[in-house]
Amino acid sequence: MEHFADKGEPSMQPIAEQPPEDVTNLALSRGLGHLVDSRKLPNPMTRGLGMLLAAGGSIALLVLISYLAKDQDGFFWEVLHVVGLFFCFAAVFLIVASIRVFVVGAQSFHVFTNGFVHRRNGKARAYGWQDVTELKPVLQTRGEDKGKLVHYSLVPRHDKPIAIPVTIVDGRDTFLDNLMGLLQHHGIPVT
């Protein structure tokens, strides 16, 4: 199996995630060639439920601190009120983050020599390289992280853009390197 790095050069990295059978069958039916690389996002149920459990723990600690600090005076109790406020904000953050995880859902991305397959919540879509217009970075637009890379967006001709997360391991993202190499090899703009 070939793996592509920058400028279409072969990479000897092993494939991180083997695709499900429906992805393999779809790629075969569309003539997408050999599998080059795959990436799967963590299970949203496990992550989302873990975050909700942590939020529940934060709320429980907030209630406990509120109960213990009720009608108490002194510096220690004032500090305990601030700690309780931290647990309140943590619970809100964890609830919002878990909702985001559930909305993103279960996703996997699969690069083949002649195209790309995106699987989301059990539904797979295949794109030959002729169906892709570009791969472009999406940057943070506000706050202190303004200009920081959020993810890459693969843009199909007649479909919504696909957000591909960046996962850096040892200073590289071999999945994106392989994808970019193939896109450049087929004359598709990568910005």
List strands edge to edge, sheet with 162-165.
132-139, 149-156, 162-165
Q: Which domain holds residue 177?
A: 15-41+106-185
60 and 149 part of one domain? no
Banded model confidence at residue 4, pLDDT cuts 50, 70, 90 = very low
Helices 75-104 and 44-69 pack at an angle, to 10 degrees, of: 160
- For CA atoms 182, 107, 121, 105, give the dihedral sign: negative
* One-letter amino acid for residue 21 of the chain: E
pLDDT for 70 equals 76
pLDDT for 16 equals 55
- pLDDT tens digits, residue range 92-122? 999 999 999 998 889 999 999 999 999 999 8
- pLDDT tens digits, residue range 21-77? 999 999 999 999 999 999 998 888 999 999 999 999 999 999 998 888 777 777 888
51 and 27 part of one domain? no
83 and 114 part of one domain? no
pLDDT for 145 equals 84
80 and 156 part of one domain? no
B/e letters for 93-130, b = 16+ CB within 10 Å, e = fewer, are ebbebbeebeebeebbbbbbbbbbbbbeeeebbbbbbe
* Residue 7 is assigned to a structural domain of this protein: no
